[in-house]
Chain A
């Protein structure tokens, strides 16, 4: 168990979002897509060279830019 950012998560692993390190704007954008503290999130894959991170939340797959993903803290 440990808290890490989404970018450090291993592809294929699952975790629970603990916090979003960002302002209201970022939180609102993520929230609208269903990414918020307490939600279970599965990392599907990353891309080369700090490319977008792909996650699954519920039944939705979402691509998140690398910078944004570093602000999503997950407990695995």
Chain B
């Protein structure tokens, strides 16, 4: 045995078990299709080291979506290489449907172990399963687990050595019949009345009650994000930068002498003899303030809310309520999952489009999000820049982007050929998010921001300063400036920000701060920055997911939409 492949239906806890086994942290949520790509880790060390692979979930071995294809391809490779055992993870609360896949796996003649996960929840809702009986019927080890708390994981690891190919024989046509027979033998369901929780849960999908609840909760969540984000900025990051960091920077500024190039790069410009973290534009001033002072509070707030939303199980319900609305843009309800993720960062957003079945849907979804959904880092900077005007400054930006999303989506629905299937998804039970797991997940996302974004921001500040010093920005401003001035009503200096948009959009918005723009110009610049070319990280995943031809098409649509919308705003505002 050299490898372990985790397989099972979507949303049974494969990723949680993966993290438990390997210590490698991956994102897990309460909706089908969180994992769209395989992830590798290992257990043991030295000679006993074994690779563990977390596969996307699949309902059967006849794949539909690209994520499912990944899972089946991994299985086929494992069968070919003959060095892998499969840990088939089963949702104990849905034994019948899950065993369907188990029986299919048994036919593949590959060593198997079954983890009967969500064991506690099954007990809780009155389902009791005789794991030993199941084990003797299937002829392979069956281990009850509660991945979220770690219960049963040790036993699972011990049983890996006992993995067997199983001796359960049946005819394919009779598979469900066989499943039924097994379930009757091993499972007893105590009939229970609807609990209050379930009744409340039902209210969130009945249209008359569900839609008002959805609107109310989205507004509520938005205010929670704003409340936490602004709270952290006002009471923690701003005081820190103003009273602790600024004196240190002033000391360094004096040491360097305000005319030197080094001063320009490290501290930036002094504004009226002191440091302005928004406008100075040195690596240690604005370079640190943008990611840590202005963006991080919102990253924290947004991912807190998103993670709660993901783990509760509300997202698939929202998908059902919004299904019709998403049909208008050629997608189905589940497309809100990638759209929500894109509000955090377009990179995981584009990746998550893999839960959509067809190429057409994925093209529409990926193109739309990279045109009209700003990432939370950019949104935070837009809040910082336009927040002082209140709704008068902020609404035009976000309403415009929403309208662009709707109209572009509609056009893409009409123009992009291909199929868009209907929604067909399991609705997971509501779960109270597990506190520690939730915190770990939020930390993972913050960490990935710190690791992947912060170096880019610092690099960006360095590049900007060098390009200004070398006169490149001015030259670019003179070359493209007349166009941006004529079309968008933006000054020559804004060209630098538009170019920076390719590296980091939050920093690009930050570059607008020292220019002394009017509210109208700030609104237009924010919209244009969001819509125009994606940042480099998004560009890379777009290229990978859409291919060169798709990327060129998407890029052309972006460019046209940006010119049109920016120009229109300049005329009507």
Contact = CB atoms under 8 A, between A and B. Distances in A.
Interface of A: 11, 28-29, 31-34, 36, 44-52, 54, 57-68
B94 A58 contact: yes
Interface string B165-204: 0000000000010000000000001000000000000100
B59 A51 contact: no
B332 interface: yes
Nearest to A39: B176
B279 interface: no
Nearest to A62: B426
A51 B317 CA distance: 13
B320 A59 contact: no
A48 B207 contact: yes
B205 A48 contact: no
A45 B64 CA distance: 26
Contact of B205 (A34, A45, A59, A67): A45
Q: Which 8 A-B pairs have the closest CB atoms?
A: A65-B422, A32-B59, A32-B60, A61-B427, A34-B97, A63-B320, A65-B423, A45-B206
A57 B127 CA distance: 15
Interface in B121-175: 125, 127
19 contacts: A11-B206, A31-B60, A32-B59, A32-B60, A47-B207, A47-B320, A51-B207, A51-B320, A51-B323, A52-B323, A52-B333, A59-B94, A59-B96, A59-B125, A61-B429, A63-B323, A63-B426, A64-B424, A65-B332
A48 B422 CA distance: 15
B321 interface: yes
Contact of A34 (B96, B125, B319, B320): B96
Contact of A44 (B64, B205, B321): B205
A63 to B, nearest CB: 5
B121 to A, nearest CB: 11
Interface in B44-82: 59-60, 62, 64
A34 B320 CA distance: 20
Contacts of A49: 324
A54 B205 contact: yes
A9 to B, nearest CB: 15
Contact of A64 (B60, B206, B423): B423
A70 to B, nearest CB: 10
Given A44-B202, A47-B324, A49-B324, A68 B60 contact: no
A31 B59 CA distance: 9
A24 to B, nearest CB: 10
B93 interface: yes
Most A-side CB within 10 Å, residue of B64, B125, B426:
B426
Interface in B383-435: 421-427, 429
A59 B176 contact: no
B324 A59 contact: no
Given A51-B324, A65-B422, A67-B422, A32 B96 contact: no
A60 B12 CA distance: 12
Contacts of A54: 205, 320, 427
Nearest to A50: B324
Given A45-B207, A49-B324, A51-B320, 8 more contacts: A28-B60, A29-B424, A32-B60, A45-B206, A54-B427, A58-B94, A59-B93, A63-B423
A60 B323 contact: no
A71 B532 CA distance: 43
B22 interface: no
Given A63-B425, A64-B424, A67-B422, A52 B320 contact: yes
Nearest to B316: A63
B100 interface: yes
Contacts of B427: 54, 61-63
A65 B334 CA distance: 11
Contacts of B321: 47, 51
For A28, A33, A36, the residue with the greatest tally of chain B CB atoms inside 10 Å of its CB is A33
A9 B465 CA distance: 67
Contacts of B96: 34, 58-59
A13 to B, nearest CB: 15
Nearest to A56: B427
Contacts of A59: 93-94, 96, 125, 127, 189
A28 B189 CA distance: 27
Interface in B276-333: 316, 319-321, 323-324, 332-333
A66 B332 CA distance: 11
A44 B205 CA distance: 9
A43 to B, nearest CB: 12
Contacts of A57: 97
Contacts of A68: 422, 424
A36 B225 CA distance: 44
Contact of B100 (A32, A47, A48, A61): A32
B424 A63 contact: yes
Contact of B421 (A44, A46, A52, A65): A65
